[in-house]
A = this chain, B = another copy of it.
Amino acid sequence: MAIMALIAANVLAVVLHSVPELEARFGREFHAFEVFSVAVFAAEYLARLWSCVEDPHYRGALRGRLRFALRPLVLIDLLAVLPFLVMVAPVDLRVLRAARLFRLVRLLKMGRYITALALFRTVLRQKREELVLSVAFMAVLLVVSSSIMYFVENGTQPDKFSSIPESMWWAVATLTTVGYGDVTPVTPLGRIAAGLISIVGIGRFALPTAVLGAGFVEAVQARREAPACPHCGGALR
């Protein structure tokens, strides 16, 4: 629980650190908090590495520890400490900023403590077939609709629909119904095509959402009906 709170505080620190005024005013406090966090995370990492040989799976002073260190969750623990090394090294501003944002990888450490994230993986595995199909439909729709708009609008707006990849920006914004409005068709033919594309396409783009939503509700219900340990609440199956 304490580690969870520290991770949440770290994420908050990354977010607030990006505000220029706060960085100018509390830069030293942010740095102190970062040093403290890294010390805690490093201590946790070393403790895990030290004690892992107790587990019969990772016996062997060096080889066992190495195999343990290569497990995904343990690698994440290492990655959570690394950005600090870059931040104290003499690097330019852009690398420094990337290192700071990279601290968000600490969010992944939460995966160790939240068993519910497993739920999402279950949904993704169960609905894999539907999701792959939906994504394939989306990709085809994206290519076809941006090609049509490129062909129709390129003559009138050569700067906004300058190529098919450029037109995809319009297509994504339209098919997801975000609709920023920075790129819109202006020719009558382009508007007719855009209207048909949005009416036909939105249904297809909403499919993964519908599939995931249904799978999510099913998975939570299945978990609720599964027998749970009366002591810790963990699933018994």
Interface residues of chain A, those whose CB is within 8 Å of chain B, are 11, 14-16, 18-20, 97-98, 101, 104, 107, 114, 116, 119-120, 129-130, 133, 136-138, 140, 143-144, 147-148, 150-151, 154, 162-166, 168-169, 172-174, 176-182, 184, 191, 194-195, 198-199, 202-214, 216-217, 220, 224
Contact = CB atoms under 8 A, between A and B. Distances in A.
Contacts of A14: 147, 164
A203 B208 contact: yes
B107 A140 contact: yes
A154 B130 CA distance: 37
- A-side binding surface: helix, strand, loop or mixed? helix
Given A19-B163, A204-B212, 16 more contacts: A15-B147, A15-B164, A16-B164, A16-B165, A18-B150, A20-B162, A101-B148, A101-B151, A107-B140, A129-B220, A138-B199, A174-B178, A176-B177, A179-B181, A181-B181, A207-B212
